[in-house]
Amino acid sequence: MNDFTHNSKPGSTDDPTNRDLPANGRISSAAALDAALDAAHQAALDKRIDAAIERKPAPALPADFAAVVSATLAARAAAAPRRSRAIPVGRTIGWVSAALLTAALFVVAPHATPNIASFRFDAEILLLVELAGIGWLLSRNFDAHRTR
């Protein structure tokens, strides 16, 4: 048979891709040796890859590591702005509003007649409800650091 026959099966001696095979179809000892060496080389490479993956590197720190870290932290602490004390704006506004509502009640209450159709009486009831709401909010403990 010719080496360049188109009716050849892959892997046969007639296959044009197997030009290194002898015409008789037998594998020469050099080809078998090359295949065995490739298999041994692949197995050794697999073992080296496994060993490299399983190896754990030992941590190594410089001798002056602690001194460098503490110097860096001290420099950052000196450069950081100081936090100011939080001003309780909400409580201050609540107390001022409660005082203003109480003053408005003293102004509106003497002139209000207890009649549901009277605007002054409705305003007095609304001011009392608002004052009660502000008193309830001021009595609650809003601490941002407390967990619930």
The label of the residue with tokens 């188109």 reads 6
Q: What is the pLDDT of residue 82?
A: 73
Torsion of the alpha carbons at 132, 137, 138 and 141, rounded to the nearest 10 = 150
Q: What is the pLDDT of residue 137?
A: 86
Structure tokens given for 46: 């697999």
pLDDT under 50: residue ranges of the chain: 1-6, 8, 15, 18, 147-148
Q: Could you tell me which of 124, 100, 122 has the C-alpha nearest to residue 110?
A: 124
CB 120 within 8 A of CB 113: yes
In angstroms, the CA 35 to CA 68 distance is 57
